[in-house]
Amino acid sequence: MALPLLYDCDPGNDTALAVLAAVGHPGIDLLAVTTLAGHLPAERTAHNAAVALYAAGAHGVPVARGSELPLVRDQVLAGVLDLDGGLDRLRDDLPALGHDPRHSVELIIDTARENPGLTVVTTGPLTNLASALRRDPATGRNIARIVSLGGAWGLGGKTAAAEFNIWCDPEAAAVVLGGEVPVTLLPVEATGAVPVDDALTERIAAGPAARVPLASELLESMRRVHRPGPFGPVPVPLHDPCAVLYAADPSLGETRTVRVDVELDGRHTYGRTVIDLGGRSALQARTGVVVRLDTPRTHAALADALARLPAPATA
């Protein structure tokens, strides 16, 4: 039986690729996509999600526009150019794509109520999900688990202490991690080790997924981007698709159950995820943390999911 899944995200290139993977994966029943401001403004992320679903042939999956602002702090955006450059062609060709009239928070609540046992995957700030859990306590009882891309046990990300998704809305992350729904985090150290490299892009371009042009375009756009590393530029990671693929098949990762807290008061550490891999905390260890992903199997799972997408109606 396919996994009933709601995907909450802030789509740029790698998120759009994750949407394609969620549609194509035989183990996932994608019920809804909810969006919010994060890497990009909310209006743009909602449209990017609609573009990705259109390209995947998933015209019946609702897309909602969500939170513009964090729960407490001022709005922050990634401030990085070309986060969705791979979507340019389709986005420009399809300006009239609409979205569900409901706010993302309402769509989360409704989807959970209609589908008890729902899995929620998040790859952006946790504002939508935290708001849904606070607004309707029954939502938490209807969600079986949360798989969330976010946090870091050492590297930080946006700051020296904090990874971007958590840093955008630390208070929302604290709500989600402190709730009753089981959460598995995929920190930046785990997903950051799964690259968009030449082998992956060539595999997709040479396989059945090549008939879905957006998949190759997104990967090629990502492949051209390199991030600074301690010994020179390194390939951009496959962050968001990792979360979707792991949700469908947790055997892709090595996961430990540990204590995770979010720093809300630190002057220099605001938004840090305190991940107790050493087992030093006396508090309950209740959060799954993926410490390692199998890169070859993750690449293979992505290629297989993309290969199952239908060819576009028109070339």
- Cα 52 to Cα 44: distance, rounded to the nearest angstrom: 12
> Residues 39, 99, 239, 299: which is the catalytic one?
239
Based on the residue annotation, tell me whether 239 is a catalytic residue of this protein: yes
Helices marked H in the chain — which ranges? 13-24, 42-56, 88-93, 104-114, 127-135, 137-142, 164-168, 170-177, 188-191, 198-206, 213-223, 239-248, 295-307
- Cα 184 to Cα 306: distance, rounded to the nearest angstrom: 24
Quick one: DSSP state of residue 267? T
The angle subtended at Cα 16 by Cα 81 and Cα 48, nearest 5°, is 70
Label residue 219 left, alpha or beta by phi (over 0 means left) and psi (-120 to 50 means alpha): alpha
- Cα 235 to Cα 199: distance, rounded to the nearest angstrom: 12
Known catalytic residues are 239
